[in-house]
Copies of this chain bind each other. A is one copy, B any other.
Amino acid sequence: MARQRAEADEAPPKKSELTRQSILDAAARMFRMHGYSGTRLSDIADEIGMKAGSLYYHFPSREALVEAVMDLGLQRTHAAVLDRLSMLPADAGHLTRLQVAIETHLLSVLEQEDYTSASIKLIWQVPAGIRERQIADQRAYGALWRKLLEDARKGGAIRADVDLSVARMAIVGALNWAADWYKPGKLTPKRIARDICAMVLNGLVAEDEAAAAKRRPATTKRAKK
C-alpha cells in the first residue's frame, strides 16, 4: 500500500491490465525460481509469448518490475494475516491470535503463488534502493507481530524470560525458511503450520520430561532412561 507509481488511479479502465498481471505473475515465478540476476527480461517475456522490449510498455524498468513483485508479495501476506485476525471472535485469546497469524503467514508463503516467496528470497539480491524501501515496508508488517507478542505477554500468556524481538524473528524466520525447503508432497501446509505452532507455543520437550527439566540447572539436563 506504499509504493505505487502513478498509473493505478487516473480513470481509464484499460484492458491491458490483464497483460500487466500476467507479466507480474510470470516475473514472480521466474524471479522466485532463478533469482534476480538469474532472470532476464527475455525469460519473463518468453514465458507469456512476448518480446523483451514490449515489457517496457507496462513497466519502466526491470527494477520497477521486481519491486512491484516484491511489494505485492509483502502486501498480500500482510493483508491475509490482518484479514484472518479480524475474523476471529472478539474474545479470542492471545495464543489463538498468535496461532492464526503463524498459520496464515505460512500458508501465504507456501500457497499464495510466488509473490510471497519471491519477496522473501529477493531481498538481498536486488539493488540497494529497492531493498531499503522494501525493508521499510517490512517494518509495518513487523509491527503487527510485535503487537501480537506484546499483547500476549501483557496478558500473561507467554513466558517473561524470552526477548520478544528474538521470538518474533525466530518465528518469522522459521516460517519464511519454509519457502526454501517446502515441496508439495507428503506434508500439507496445514500440517506444517500445526507442527510449527506446537513447537513455538509448547516446545519440543516431551510432556513428562518438561516438568522435570524445569527444575534442573539450565545447561546440564539429561534425558531420563
Asked whether, in the complex, the Cβ of A200 is within 8 Å of the Cβ of B199, the reply is yes
Residue A223 at the chain B interface, CB threshold 8 Å: yes
Residue A136 at the chain B interface, CB threshold 8 Å: no
Cα(A194)–Cα(B7), bound, Å? 49
A171-190 with Cβ < 8 A to chain B: 171-178, 180-181, 187
Interface string of A190-207 (1 = CB under 8 A from B): 011011101111111111
Cα(A194)–Cα(B167), bound, Å? 11
State which size class the interface on A falls in.
35 or more
Cα(A222)–Cα(B156), bound, Å? 11
Asked whether, in the complex, the Cβ of B219 is within 8 Å of the Cβ of A96, the reply is yes
Asked whether, in the complex, the Cβ of B198 is within 8 Å of the Cβ of A201, the reply is no
What are the residues of chain B within 8 A of A221 when measuring CB–CB?
93, 95-96, 99
Smallest Cβ distance from A56 to chain B, in angstroms?
21
Asked whether, in the complex, the Cβ of A152 is within 8 Å of the Cβ of B203, the reply is no
Residue A162 at the chain B interface, CB threshold 8 Å: yes
Smallest Cβ distance from A17 to chain B, in angstroms?
30
Known A-B contacts: A158-B205, A201-B203. Give 19 more (CB < 8 A): A37-B37, A38-B125, A94-B223, A95-B221, A96-B219, A96-B221, A99-B219, A155-B223, A156-B224, A161-B198, A162-B195, A163-B191, A166-B192, A167-B204, A173-B173, A173-B178, A177-B177, A199-B200, A199-B203
**What are 26 A-B pairs with beta-carbon distances under 8 A?**
A35-B124, A95-B209, A95-B223, A98-B204, A124-B180, A155-B223, A155-B225, A159-B202, A161-B195, A161-B198, A163-B191, A169-B177, A169-B181, A170-B178, A173-B173, A173-B176, A174-B174, A174-B177, A176-B177, A177-B177, A194-B218, A200-B203, A202-B202, A202-B203, A202-B210, A203-B203
